[in-house]
Amino acid sequence: MKAAITGVHGFVPDYILTNEELTRMVDTTDEWITARTGIKERHILRGEGLGTSDMAVEAVKGLLNKTGTSPEEIDLVICATVTPDMTYPATANIIADKAGIKNAFGFDLNAACSGFIYTLVTASKFIESGTHKKVLVVGADKMSSIVDYSDRTTCVIFGDAAGALLLEPSKNGYGIIDSILRSDGSGRQHLHQKAGGSVRPASRETVDAKEHFVYQEGQAVFKFAVMNMADVSVEIMEKNNLKSNDIAWLVPHQANLRIIDATARRMGISKEQVMVNIQRYGNTTNGTIPMCLYEWENKLRPGDNLILAAFGGGFTWGSVYLKWAYDGNN
Ligand code: UT7
């Protein structure tokens, strides 16, 4: 039995942080940000007491509404996030509570920017095994809660967003066909958050040293990302005998336009076949891939071959090959 995506929805908060506004906060320019990353603006969740689950619930409610699914029918919720509402309980549980989902179990999955595809593959196993019938796959991050807005090397990159997919047993044979997921913990030194975990719990010192923010060695991550996201995407094509013109869409994690372009070039596919919205949202970590699927939904047709590809801290990386299962226009 195959697991098929049967609906997708996304949400971004209203406030738009432009490159121009960033030039008034740190020593940067619109030209630098555009040339090095492809980003023009990003959305930021503002408001006291609002967290990742508040964006995710908007995506989930929209998804349940458009697919005609009642909250009681959902039997599993998995949330990919690096910015949970709290260390515990899982944000998936909070989302379920706020959305009126009463008959599901839920948990969070953390694989940094690869979290959404890890979660999609994990969720698909519950469908394929026959134990679960309607699974919510959520990818959501309030990156603004862990970004230092005085650090120009990271604050220009990230934004806030949430996306949600409904996964069900396939009715027409289309769905998730194959995946390759990888991780290498020795890469953790290049991209991490230094404090707030059990090794270095929060203290006055960790706050003063700004250790609760994203720490990233951009160039090291860039090199690893270019090589591995392209490699794993080509590998899944070869494994499934896919030529470049068999692929309808590449759906890449939106971390940097140059990384996306390099991956597409290695796969031999044209820019027209690549979903890119980084210019409007920046890197929303677990929100990037579902936000792309949401925005391109009305162009997707049953049987379209999609390659999803991601790369992130850990290091983690991977690709998913699926055949789109429904007419996104309906
Ligand atoms: O999704 C999770 C995975 N993360 C990623 O995939 C991120 C991968 N890395 C990247 O996307 C890029 O490395 C960055 C966008 C983070 C940085 O771009 P880069 O082309 O690698 O720049 P760089 O770090 O080599 O810095 C080049 C110069 C430096 O100045 P000097 O030393 O040459 O004088 C930086 O200080 O650019 C400077 N710089 C900036 N200048 C203006 C760094 N950030 C900025 C900025 N504005 N915002």
Which residue has the CA at smallest separation from atom 43 of ligand 1? 153
Residue 155 CA, closest ligand 1 atom number: 48
Domain boundaries, the chain: 3-173, 176-323
Domain 3-173 matches domain 176-323 at the CATH topology level: yes
**How does pLDDT run across 120-145, given as a tens digit for each residue?**
999 999 999 999 999 999 999 999 99
Check residue 8 and report its DSSP letter: E
Q: Place 279 in a pLDDT band, splitting at 50, 70 and 90.
A: very high
Q: Model's pTM, two decimal places?
A: 0.97
What average pLDDT does this structure show over 244-270? Answer: 97
Query: Is residue 330 pLDDT above 90, yes or no?
Result: no
Non-local (6+) Cβ contacts of 285 within 8 A are 81, 82, 83, 112, 113, 115, 139, 141, 143, 158, 312
**Mean pLDDT for the chain?**
97
Instruction: Please report which residue ranges of the chain form alpha helices under DSSP H.
Output: 19-23, 30-37, 52-67, 91-99, 115-128, 152-155, 204-208, 218-239, 257-267, 278-281, 288-296
Measured CA to CA, the distance from residue 324 to residue 300 in angstroms comes to 7
**How does pLDDT run across 209-251, given as a tens digit for each residue?**
999 999 999 999 999 999 999 999 999 999 999 999 999 999 9
CA 219 – ligand 1 centroid, Å: 7
Query: Is residue 36 pLDDT above 90, yes or no?
Result: yes
What average pLDDT does this structure show over 267-273? Answer: 95
Which residue has the CA at smallest separation from atom 47 of ligand 1? 28
| CA angle in degrees (0–180, nearest 5) for 75-61-279 | 115
Q: Place 297 in a pLDDT band, splitting at 50, 70 and 90.
A: very high
- The topology (CATH level 3) of 3-173 is Peroxisomal Thiolase; Chain A, domain 1 (3.40.47)
Query: Is residue 313 pLDDT above 90, yes or no?
Result: yes
Q: Which architecture characterizes domain 176-323 according to CATH?
A: 3-Layer(aba) Sandwich (3.40)
First to last CA, the chain: 24
Which residue has the CA at smallest separation from atom 8 of ligand 1? 222
Q: Pick the closest to residue 8 from 304, 267, 316, 328 (CA basis).
A: 328
Query: Is residue 199 pLDDT above 90, yes or no?
Result: yes
